[in-house]
Structure 1
């Protein structure tokens, strides 16, 4: 699909996705792989979220018509390679003595975390290190 014609939208306005009982069955493994990759991409490309989730509904029995819609998403992405959300992972702490700010720390994290709780633990560790330094 590297030399495909680019699509201006991720889904055609005339497309209506519904259960396709008469369609040609396609390889379920390849279809699931494609949808899984697109779902992963939705973390930074919210413009394709609706149509990818719509295609994900039909993973149990993929048909040619669903694959066609999925390929249109790829054609859309081909023309919009520089669009997306840039996410910064930062952590920071503020140290108060009474009601007065005595120290603060903010920095970009050296690693990307896999869960929501992990950055909090990283920030807590950094905070404890700052407090121990201040205490000395």
Structure 2
């Protein structure tokens, strides 16, 4: 057997300093598939300080294209934790899709167009200290006022797990939302998005 270079859509580049895992070929494929190969780029996957809302007055959209986009992007989160939160937020509107949600989805693709080659770097020489980080966006979900928890775990300088999940409770303070986020970060490996 030769050195691993490609596995289930993940590109694996190994050298003496470590391993780099990416999906830039897949990014090019989905940009072509959804006709985003020649669009202007953006620097962030979501508009800062602008939460997605139910948007009752906007026009409804065809859900089939939107769901196809969500599915394609979910697969990409295997090597792209930078888009996980944005995809999680957009996925919540698959049933009540409006034009504003499709615009948010298109922004993720425009971000990918500008950043197609990002991935995960696992350096060979790194300590084995386990560190976990978490955060919460207190009551930002417009539909039910639940907070979203995000977290990641590092083994030394190696990112080994990341997640984005809506909390199951409605926190009545920022402190409680952060406490729930910290508790989730400390639990066994969580799904990457929810």
Q: Could you say whether these structures have the same fold, taking a TM-score greater than 0.5 normalized by the shorter chain as the test? A: yes
2:45 aligned partner: 10
Query: Considering only CA atoms, is the larger Rg found in Structure 1 or Structure 2?
Result: 1
Instruction: Give me the TM-score of the superposition, normalised by structure 1.
Output: 0.60
1:11 and 1:23 mapped to 2: Cα distance? Answer: 19
Q: Per residue, is there more helix in 1 or in 2?
A: 1
**Greater displacement, 11-20 / 34-43:** 11-20
CA shift, 1:15, in A, is: 2.2
CA shift, 1:36, in A, is: 0.9
Which ranges of structure 1 fall in alignment gaps of 5 or more residues?
Answer: 88-136
2:121 and 2:78 mapped to 1: Cα distance? Answer: 10
RMSD between aligned residues: 1.4
Greater relative contact order (Cα 8 A, min sep 6): structure 1 or 2?
1
Query: Are 2:60 and 1:21 aligned?
Result: no
Pick aligned residue for 1:47 from 82, 97, 110: 82
Q: Per residue, is there more strand in 1 or in 2?
A: 2
1:38 aligned partner: 73
3-state secondary structure, aligned to 1:85: strand
Conserved in 2, the CA contact under 8 Å of 1:7 and 1:72? Answer: yes
3-state secondary structure, aligned to 1:29: helix
1:81 aligned partner: 116
Conserved in 2, the CA contact under 8 Å of 1:25 and 1:62? Answer: yes
Which ranges of structure 2 fall in alignment gaps of 5 or more residues?
Answer: 1-35, 123-194
Q: Cα deviation per residue 1:3-45 (whole Å; 9 max; x = unaligned)? A: 1111001011142211111111111111110011111111110
Q: Which runs of 4+ in 1 moved over 3 A?
A: none
1:41 and 1:86 mapped to 2: Cα distance? Answer: 16
